[in-house]
Amino acid sequence: MKVNKRIKIYLYTRFERLWHWLQALMVTCLIITGLEIHGTYKLFGFQTAVTVHNFIGLTWLIMFAFFVFWLFTTGEWKQYIPTTQKLFSVIRYYSWDIFQGKPHPVQKSTGAKHNPLQRLAYLGISAMLLPIQMITGLLYYLHNDIPQFIPLSALANIHTLVALFLLNFLIIHLYMTTTGHSLFSHISGMITGWEEIYETTKIQDWETKATKKG
């Protein structure tokens, strides 16, 4: 197998990293407190769990507004446009090729931070699960302040289901960070901003078409 020289590129800006880790922290806290409110276990005490959950939830909403603003003003939203190109080779990679030491079919680059599978997953999360979670959460929070057009049970049940889906994502996401060339290379990329890629990998045109400047 041919070994390519690895180089580091600056992939994640400061805001992006801040948002990512803040989001990670908030999601973790929200899931832990949320499941306590749901009655799954006793940990901080119901009242504390509710207070913390509400506070973080509201913080999340405000932070998310900044994220969306950043996404659209920088044009980074185009990174989430789904594509079927190479989607199946990525799926094949993770389910088969990875066990044989074959290289990843799609390399990261400034113009294409996410592989096609990631794009699909992140789009689903950012455009579907998170908005559902934020809307149901906000309506739940404001249940006594605004006309109640959705029953609390529906809001709560959807909110719980999506939370569990997000927990599912979190588990897979955490695991996937270990699939770089070393166990922690993806994580260190998200901490420092610099991600290691193979020098010789040619970035395909279709990958960067949308984000190409000029």
Partner 1 sequence: MIHRYLIKLSLLIIAAFTIIIFFKANMVYAAKTGEAPGRKLAKQAVKDSKRWSTIDHSKVDALNQRFSSGEEVTEACISCHSEAATQFHKSIHWTWLASGNKNDIRYGKAGLSVNNFCISGNAMEDKGCLSCHTSWNKKGVQGVVNCLKCHNTSGFNFEEAFTDIKGFSGDDDPEIVDIVKEIQEDVKTALVQIDFPNRKSCGDCHFKGGGGDGVKHGDLDTSLVKPNRKLDVHMGIDGKNFTCTRCHTTTDHNIAGRIYTNPAVEKRKSLIEDDLAPKITCVSCHSNAPHKNDSKMNDHTDIVSCQACHIPTYARVNPTKMWWDWTNAGKMKDGKPYVEKGPFGKPVYKSIKGEFKWDKNVVPEYYWFNGSLTSATIDDVIDPAQVVKVSHPVGDGTDPEARIYPFKIHQGKQPYDKINKKLVAPLLSGKKGFWTTFDMNDAIEQGNKTLGIPYSGEFDYVQTTYAFPITHMVAPKENALNCTECHIRENSRLANLTQLYLPGRDKSKALDTIGWLSVIGAILGVFFHGMGRIFIRNGKEK
Q: Which residues bind partner 1 (CB under 8 A)?
A: 37-39, 42, 45-47, 50-51, 54, 58, 61-62, 65, 68-69, 72, 94, 98-102, 138, 141-145, 151-153, 156-158, 160-161, 163-165, 167-169, 171-172, 174-175, 178-179
Closest distance of CB 156 from partner 1, Å: 6
By beta-carbon proximity to partner 1, the closer residue of 84 and 144 is 144
By beta-carbon proximity to partner 1, the closer residue of 160 and 204 is 160
State the DSSP code for 106: S
Closest distance of CB 208 from partner 1, Å: 18
Cβ atoms of residues 56 and 33 within 8 Å? yes
Classify burial at 162, counting beta carbons within 10 Å of its beta carbon; exposed 0-12, middle 13-18, buried 19 or more.
buried
By beta-carbon proximity to partner 1, the closer residue of 103 and 193 is 103
Structure tokens at 45: 């005490």
Closest CA to 142 of 214, 54, 65: 54
Closest distance of CB 182 from partner 1, Å: 11
Structure tokens at 140: 């739940």
d(CA 197, CA 4): 9
By beta-carbon proximity to partner 1, the closer residue of 25 and 98 is 98
Q: How far is CA 187 from the centre of its chain?
A: 13
Closest distance of CB 154 from partner 1, Å: 9
